[in-house]
Structure 1
Amino acid sequence: MARIKAKTAQEILMEDFQTLVSDTERLLEHTASLAGDQADELREQIRDSLLRARETLKLTEDALQERGKAAVAATEDYVQANPWQSVGIAAGVGFLIGLLATRR
């Protein structure tokens, strides 16, 4: 359950970060009409920040994918090593979901 919440929180964080990057890109496009040295400097700083943000986003995405693959591999190893326990756990979870679904 904690892993599900953590994954959901990570997904929300990634979506928020992607929204921030796209909003900043739109801001950069809107400031293109501004003139002057300060506006050029501001645009350059925004571009640099966007590049760093994209790199960070890509690294985070890659790390999340690696952790996801490791979790899948660990789960597969556990199921192969303990098939009957896995069947019992799956049956128990299915039973609980069935109980919760009939309550509504």
Structure 2
Amino acid sequence: MARKTPSVDPLLADFQTLVQDTEKLLQQSASLAGEQAEGLRAQIEASLARARTSLHANEESLRQCCASGVKATENYVQQHPLQSLGVCAGIGFLLGLLVARR
């Protein structure tokens, strides 16, 4: 069963663009006052709004992906309880060995 996982690349690209735009606008705003400064603030607010929208869109897709993963895990544990218990015991044993070494 192939799941569509949300890509982080577009989100990172949006935030990199936001940071670059903000840095550029801050450099330009050092010598500006009045209406020009208000225009720059409006551009920064628009960039932040785009970033928030992108973040919220990706947040919802990540929630859906995680919910389906949780549901699949619950189904597997219910169908194979002894195997799940064995795997958990093995992982716990290995973690105990690692912690005891420190």
The alignment's TM-score, normalised by the length of structure 2, stands at: 0.65
1:102 maps to 2:100: yes
Superposed counterparts of 1:48-67, under 5 Å = 48-67=46-65
Quote how far apart the aligned CAs of 1:84 are.
1.0
Distance (Å, rounded) in 1 between the aligned partners of 2:38 and 2:100: 62
**1:35 Cα deviation (Å)?**
3.0
1:73 Cα deviation after fit: 0.6
Percent same amino acid at aligned positions? Answer: 56
1:46 aligns with 2:55: no
| Count of residues paired in the alignment | 81
Q: Which runs of 4+ in 1 moved over 2 A?
A: 34-38
User: Could you say what secondary structure the match of 1:76 adopts?
Assistant: helix
Give 2:89's match in structure 1, choosing from 88, 91, 104. Answer: 91
Which of these residues, 75, 80, 104, is aligned with residue 78 of structure 2? 80
Q: AA paired with 1:93?
A: I
Distance in 2, matches of 1:62 and 1:103, equals 41
Structure 2: gaps of 5 or more residues: 1-7
Task: Please identify the structure whose Cα radius of gyration is greater.
Answer: 2
Higher relative contact order (CA 8 A, sep 6+): 2
Q: What value does the CA root-mean-square deviation take over the aligned residues?
A: 2.9
Q: Calculate the TM-score normalised by the size of structure 1.
A: 0.63
